[in-house]
Every structure is written in C-alpha cells, then in structure tokens.
Amino acid sequence: MLKLAALAVFVLASLLDVSQVRAAGEQVVIGTIEDLSGVYADTGGQGSVEASAMAIADFGGTVLGKKIVLLSVDHQNKPDIGASKFREWADQQSLNVLLAGSNTGVSIAMAKVAAAKKVPFFAVGAGGASLTGADCTPYTVHYVYDTTALGNGTASAIVKEGGKTWFFVTADYAFGTQLQDAAARVVLANGGKVLGAVRAPLGTTDYSSFLLQAQASHAQVLGLANAGTDFINSLKAADEFGITKTMRPAALLTFVTDIHSLTLQTAQGLYLTTSWYWDLNDETRAFAKRFFAKMKKQPTMAHAGYYSATLQYLNAVKAVGSTAPDLVMAQLKKTKINDVFTKNGYIRADGLMVHTMYVMQVKTPAESKYPWDYYKVVKVMSGEEADGSQADPACVLVKK
Amino acid sequence: MKARTRLYAALAILGLAAPWLGLYPVFVMKLLCFAMFACAFNLLLGYTKMLSFGHAAYFGASAYTTGWLVTAQGWGTIAGLLGGVAVSMLLGLAIGAIAVRRQGIYFAMITLALAQLVFFVCLQAPFTGGENGLQGIPRGSVLGIIDLGGDAAMYYFVLAAFAAVFVLIRRIVHSPFGQVLKAIRENEPRAISLGYQVDRYKLLAFVLSASLAGLAGSLKALVLGFVTLSDVSQATSGDVILMTLLGGSGTFLGPALGAIIVISLQEYLSDLVGAWVSVMIGAIFVVCVMTFRRGFIGEIERRLGRRV
C-alpha cells in the first residue's frame, strides 16, 4: 500500500505543472493568445504570432538589457481557455503584456483578467466596441478596428448609394451582435430600415436556412455581421443560391485573406472597411514583402496591428525605462503612433486607438493587375470620423 | 496504522503542501473541482450503475446560478454557493424523477436530452451572457472573515470542500442506504423482490450526485471567475464519464485520479496541439478501454487483491 501512495505522489508530481515561477525582471515576456485553429486562424492566427516575432526582431531582441520572450497559445475561440491561460501566464511566467485577438467574447474575458492582474492588454484582432465601452479597463488598448468604425465605414457607404432596407445574418456572440448594432444605427440614421436579423452560431458551415430567411425578407441589402470563415461560407452560399443577384451583400468585416479565399469572381464590387492594406504605399509593401516571405500570404490588418502593437509597447517600455504597467500605459496614452500600421494614431481615454480607416471596394478580375491586387480606396476616414470624436461614455474611465 | 490510513494521510499532506511544491494553485483548484465533479458522478455510475449522459447540466447550471447571484445580485460567497447547489438539486430532482423510471440506454438518452435542453436555456437566457458567458465573478469572502481573493486562501477553501465531499461520499456508500444502492447495482429485480422501493433510492442517489456536481461547478466558477457554455456542454458531460472510467468507476480515488489525468492532459496538450486535444484524449480513452477496463485504480486494486 505504501507503494501505491508513492505511486500516487509520483503521478501527481509528474502531471502537475512543476515549472517554477520565473524570477520577475530577468526578461520581458510578451504573450499572444490567438485563434490558431478555428474560423479566424487565417485572418489572425499564426501570422499574428509571426508579426509579433518580426517586431521583436526589428527592435533588436532586447529592451532595457533584458531578453524579450514571446509566448503563444491557441484560445480555440473559448473564453475560458483564453482567460485561464492569461491568468496562468500572469501568475507563473511574469507576463508583461498580452496581445490577443480574433474573438470579442474571448477578449472580453481576457480584459477582466487584465484588470485583475494589472497587465497591459492589446485587443488586436477583436472588433467589439464594448472593449472600450462597458467592458473597458485601465489596461486595455483596442488597436486595429472596432465595430463602430466598421459600421460607419461600410454601412454608411452602402446606404448612401441607395441600399435602404437591410437584413442581417449575424455571428451569435458579442462581436456579431455589436457589429449588427453598429451597422443598424448607421442604417437608421441615414433613413434606412432594418427588416430583420438572424443569428448563426460561430463556426456555422451550412447557411442555407439563414439565407432563405434573408431572401424572404425582400431586403435590398444582406448585412453579413460575421468574419473569417463564417463570412466566407455565408457569402459563398449566398452566391451559390443566387441571392447576391437580388440582394446586395454588405461585408461588415473583411480581411484581405478572405477575398483571396473567395476569389475576385465572387467578391468583386464588395465594399469593406479596413484599417490597413498591404498595397497602400511603399512602407506597407516593404512590410508585406517580408511577411510574405515567411507566411506565404499577404498580411491582413490584424497582422500589421500585431507588429505595430508589439513595437509600440516596446518603445513605451524603453521610453519609461520600466515595465511597470501603469507607467507604460501612461506613456502609451500620451504618445502618437507613427509606424507602418498608421500615422498619427493616438490612444483615447477609454483605450481605443483612434486612427485612419479606409473604405475599400474589391476590384473586378479585370481591374486586378497582379496577385493579391484586390482593393481600391473609395474613401479615407479620419479616426474621428470612424469612431466619433468623444470617448465612449459607457466606459467608467471616461470623465463625464 | 492501516495501509489505507497511511495512503489517505499521504494524500492529505500532499494536498495541504501543494501550493509550496511549485504547483500552480489555480490549476490545482481546477483539478480539485473536476475531481469533486467526477466523484459525484461516480456515486451514480460506480455505485448505482446509472450512466447519466448529461451531468454537465448540473455542474453548469449551478455554476451559472452562483455566478449570477454573486455578480448581479450581490450575494455573499457562501450564500451564492448554496443557491447554486439548491438549483442543481432541484434540477436533479426534476430530471431524475423522469429518468429513473427507465434503465440502461433509455436512462442515458433521457438524461442527455434534458441536459441539452439546459444547455440551450443557458445559451439563450439573458442572464447567462450567451456565447460570452459570465465574466469577472468575484471570489468574495467566507462569512466576511476570510478573504478568498488570494490564491492560497481560496485553495484551502476548495481543498476543505473537496475533502468534505469525499468523506461524505464514503459515508453515503458505506451507509445502509449505500448498501441498497449497491444491491440495486448488482441485481435490481432482486432488490425489488426484497421489498425496496428501488426508484426512490435511485432518485435520491441521482439528486445527491447532481447536488454535489453542482457544488463542484459553483466552486469552479468562483475559482476561475467566469462561467462559459463549455461548463454546461455535452463535451463536459463526456469528460466526466471519461474521468470516472479512466480512474476506475466504483472506487473512491479512481474518479479523482481520472480527473487529474484528463485535465492535466487537456492543459498540456492544448498548448502543444491546440484544438487537436480532443482527438488525442479520445485515442487515449480507446487505448484504456482496450487494455485496462477497470481503470487505473480498479486495476491496481485487482492486482493487490483488495480495495483502496
């Protein structure tokens, strides 16, 4: 029986996490928690981790004489995995900053951990505007785009061209509902009408019943408040059903990799809103070339956002000479952001990074001259135009 | 001192010392919560031979209730826990009353169907937060005296709860009531012919199991600070079956060991292979069923020729 006790102790000891807490301060630890295997693996995914690694390499690999370490894990689109991994890193690995994205539900869960553990948190790939509204924290920075800006970009462009009646197919979680709300607000404000909406679970592959409901509504515009493979699957199905002939699809969140998967034949003419495009100028093309060499695809706005956020964090650490979260956050909030991702971006009191957004139209196959030549700029929106000039009053950090 | 006493003493010391062994307290707490869940499940599967396919319903319903009471209603920690357990108890009573009338596969299917019903309620009800779940649940304090905010205090609170549940389950199994359960397990018609109201015994076992599973869920909600749909999903129901069978159903330590193995594997494999983890756990389960059917502790007991 003693043998059994010894066995039990051995099994426990060998299975449990016996890695000791790393002595704080020997290195700067950057964590990335991404969807590496699910619906957003293409728009964010491994490319995001790679973009962060590029930023660390460009920065020189060390800051304040300490080695920079990059951790990454797959959140599998489950809020519980994201939040518990973040907490574990904060407790065990003396994590200094978390960059995370693709999935607003997971990001909201992680924001709560950021507030409890006082770790700066860059919500890079997620869209939900509530991250800097009702769910804001002093340590959250919402970086690449938010649902408000997407609504103001794409929805207003379509309504102004006469798409007055809308039906939404919405991803059934925080991101989808917030995106639908943002777009619906814009539609109503411009004299349009929302005829209905249907919610599809994240990761749906068969959109037929949802699309038939949309068709039965006789709306002019099919608002797709989803992203990643959800967006690809729903648009493809709409195209195959011939619904795109009678209804105009509105792609409320689209990444350049989605267009690549859909092909121009299916996607041509779509309006979309993006904060970054690889073919904007020489600087973005140079970054894209380096990224392409590693990942064999052009970077999305999320990838550029990861690169930029990593770099801005390291710059702030260098400027204040410390990784103390409050000092770094104060530095970040008073510094203008100028890099390959954006020019003259700034972080608002509620944590939103306000920057230029572009309304794009997908080119026709005839207009596209070379591989990945997919977008033409329709309109350039200033950060204030995209996100409003005031910080979100729903955020407790905003002085009323 | 008997060997069994020595074993439990060693485990108790290990449990008390865990935070100083470099183990991550939050992770050990999660293990304890799932170990409690598996032990509660074992009361049904191991001692009454009723295979419930939807035990996550009680685990998750209680977790959601506690989370909602503590967050939105401002209840205290203990009151919130009790509220959660009360809901899982009532749910167990309602579902159990329907399910115990049938046996075998029909029993399993009824529990599965009703658990899916609970899942969809949790998905659609306004207070559960849908796909996002409940976030930022405070741990609070024990009667305003012991603050559970720190990991050490919370750890000992969870450890004490687990020890209490473990002792309670031993007590139930060794009581006359437990003997009747075992009689039902071995030969139900004979138990009926002896004059026992079998359905009542089975229902009580079901309600006890559901309540203790609920306690485990509520504790997990407090430990991690969130409740999500995965707590109430079919996958969690499957996990607890796996834990119990892997460790050895019908043994006291088996389900706890099974929970430790399954959760640890999920934790480590999810870092390495991401979403492939469920495939690998499934493969491990197949190997276990093919090679040692009694589970780890069951096999050890058989080799030693006595019970642990």
Interface probe, candidates A14, A19, A73, A84, chain B, greatest B C-beta count within 10 A: A84
Together in a domain, A119 and A252 = no
Mean pLDDT calculated for residue range A98-125? 90
CATH (domain of A293) = 3.40.50.2300
Within a domain: A271: yes
Together in a domain, A248 and A304 = no
> Are residues B264 and A15, on separate chains, in Cβ contact within 8 Å?
yes
Confidence of residue A290 (pLDDT cuts 50, 70, 90): very high
Within a domain: A128: yes
Confidence of residue A21 (pLDDT cuts 50, 70, 90): very low
Confidence of residue A19 (pLDDT cuts 50, 70, 90): very low
ipTM confidence score? 0.79
Q: Which domain holds residue A207?
A: 148-279+357-381
Residues in B lying within 8 Å of A, measured between beta carbons: 3-4, 6-7, 10-11, 14, 18, 21-24, 26-28, 30-31, 130-133, 135-136, 151, 224-226, 228, 230-231, 253, 257, 260-261, 264, 267, 270-271, 274-276, 300, 304, 308
Domain count, chain A: 2
Distance (Å) from the alpha carbon of B191 to chain A's nearest alpha carbon: 35
pLDDT of residue A16: 46
Distance CA(B285)–CA(B276), nearest Å, equals 15
> Are residues A83 and B225, on separate chains, in Cβ contact within 8 Å?
yes
Within a domain: A330: yes
Within a domain: A21: no
Spell out which residues of chain B touch residue A21, defining contact as CB-CB under 8 Å: 22
> Are residues B133 and A80, on separate chains, in Cβ contact within 8 Å?
yes
HSE of A364, CA atoms in CB hemisphere, 13 A = 2
Say if CB B301 and CB A5 are below 8 A apart: no
Interface of A with B in 74-93 (CB under 8 A): 74, 76, 78-81, 83-84, 87-88, 91-92
> Are residues A19 and B22, on separate chains, in Cβ contact within 8 Å?
yes
Which residue from B11, B132, B151 is facing A105, i.e. has the nearest CB? B132
Spell out which residues of chain A touch residue B21, defining contact as CB-CB under 8 Å: 13, 16, 18
Spell out which residues of chain B touch residue A116, defining contact as CB-CB under 8 Å: 136, 225
User: pTM value?
Assistant: 0.84
Looking at residue B137, the DSSP 8-state letter turns out to be -
What are the backbone dihedrals phi and psi of residue B275, each rounded to the nearest 5 degrees, phi first? Answer: -70, -10
Spell out which residues of chain B touch residue A78, defining contact as CB-CB under 8 Å: 228, 230
pLDDT in tens, B216-254: 999 999 998 889 888 999 989 999 999 999 998 888 999
Q: Which residue of B has its CA nearest to A104?
A: B132
Together in a domain, A261 and A375 = yes
Distance CA(B33)–CA(B22), nearest Å, equals 19
Which residues, including other chains, have CB under 8 Å from residue A290's CB and lie 6 or more apart?
A: A54
What does the domain layout of chain B look like in residue ranges?
Answer: 11-232
Together in a domain, A186 and A199 = yes
Interface of A with B in 327-386 (CB under 8 A): none
Together in a domain, A106 and A86 = yes
Together in a domain, A258 and A377 = yes
Together in a domain, A164 and A296 = no
With H, G, I as helix, E, B as strand and everything else as coil, classify residue B233. Answer: coil
Together in a domain, A246 and A171 = yes
Say if CB A235 and CB A267 are below 8 A apart: yes
> Are residues B131 and A173, on separate chains, in Cβ contact within 8 Å?
yes
pLDDT of residue A3: 54
Which residue from A12, A88, A202 is facing B24, i.e. has the nearest CB? A88
Using only the alpha carbons of chain B, give its radius of gyration.
19
Spell out which residues of chain A touch residue B264, defining contact as CB-CB under 8 Å: 15-16
Give the residues of chain B that fall short of pLDDT 70: 1, 274-275, 306-308
Count of CB atoms situated within 10 Å of the CB of A304:
27
Spell out which residues of chain B touch residue A74, defining contact as CB-CB under 8 Å: 270, 274-275
Which residue from A78, A104, A112 is facing B230, i.e. has the nearest CB? A78
pLDDT in tens, A49-75: 999 999 999 999 999 999 999 999 888
Together in a domain, A109 and A53 = yes
Q: Residue B205 corresponds to which amino acid?
A: A
Mean pLDDT calculated for residue range A241-253? 91
Confidence of residue A158 (pLDDT cuts 50, 70, 90): very high
Q: Which residue of B has its CA nearest to A37?
A: B275
Q: Which residue has the higher pLDDT, A19 or A166?
A: A166
Distance CA(B228)–CA(A22), nearest Å, equals 30
Together in a domain, A274 and A286 = no
Spell out which residues of chain B touch residue A79, defining contact as CB-CB under 8 Å: 132-133, 135, 226, 228
Within a domain: A328: yes
Taking the mean position of all CA atoms in its chain, how far away is CA B119?
Answer: 17
How high does pLDDT run on average in chain A?
89
pLDDT of residue B125: 86
